[in-house]
Structure 1
Amino acid sequence: MSEDDQRQRLAQLEEKLAARRKAQEPEPKQQDMHSQAQLAWRMVMELVAGLGIGFGMGYGLDALFGTKPIFMIVFTFFGFAAGIKTMLRSAEEVRQASEASLDGAVDMPDDDKDEDDAPRKG
């Protein structure tokens, strides 16, 4: 095979690989107002669930041991702390996901550039 023939086959192979990679790229997620509202409701529900579970456990322990509302108050505070912790964990997950999507958008190759002029990543 001649050198020109090999270059031509290599160029065709690179075009096929580029087309296949482009077809397999995930589409960027676009967050809209609804997803932000869902996130807000999720966080509110996590806080309310923590408060409710803490209140229920405290009330149950008070009923079991015959004490006044001491366990109910203590476990309500524990539930509040657990709800806040869960909300912060959810917010951190969202932050990491948004940073990952931004990093993916920034690192996208520019198709307008000539491939011969661009440095190759190895």
Structure 2
Amino acid sequence: MTEPSEQERLRQLEERINAAKQRKEPKPHQEEHYSQAQLAWRMVIELVAGLGIGFGMGYGLDVLFGTLPIFMVLFTMLGLAAGVKTMLRSAQEIQDKKLAQEAGNKTLQTRGTDEGA
């Protein structure tokens, strides 16, 4: 038979294995889907807002100065550029968050293997 200390060590090992399995359970697919959809809508709204603000400012200047729609075209293009820049900044923020989360997971995995040694 096995000694009591070996049985205790085996029980502790089983508990650690079960805890590790619970940590690694994947998220339900629906949660991930809605998360990605929210991020996509955020980026679309940022782009459309940039276009709308640029268009509104250009149209307002054209009406104010009584000019051809030169300001409207110019500010719409500037609004498009601002919207794209904001979208790219949001994408970079999301990527940084995901990389930090992955680095945190790797750190936890490394600690778990170090503690087992």
After TM superposition, the score normalised by the length of structure 1 is 0.67
Are 1:91 and 2:91 an aligned pair?
A: yes
Tell me the distance in 2 between the aligned counterparts of 1:34 and 1:112. Answer: 36
Matches within 5 A, 1:1-122: 32-108=32-108, 109-110=111-112, 113-114=115-116, 117=117
Code of the residue aligned with 1:67 in structure 2: it is T
Tell me the distance in 2 between the aligned counterparts of 1:39 and 1:81. Answer: 20
Q: Secondary structure at the match of 1:47?
A: helix
- C-alpha deviation, 1:111, in angstroms: 6.2
Q: Secondary structure at the match of 2:68?
A: coil
Cα RMSD (Å)? 1.6
More helix, by proportion: 2
Tell me the distance in 2 between the aligned counterparts of 1:104 and 1:58. Answer: 47
After TM superposition, the score normalised by the length of structure 2 is 0.69
Match of 1:22 in 2: none
Runs of 4+ in structure 1 off by over 6 angstroms are none
- C-alpha deviation, 1:32, in angstroms: 0.7
Tell me the distance in 2 between the aligned counterparts of 1:69 and 1:52. Answer: 15
Tell me the distance in 2 between the aligned counterparts of 1:63 and 1:105. Answer: 56
Residue correspondences, number: 86
Tell me the distance in 2 between the aligned counterparts of 1:112 and 1:106. Answer: 12
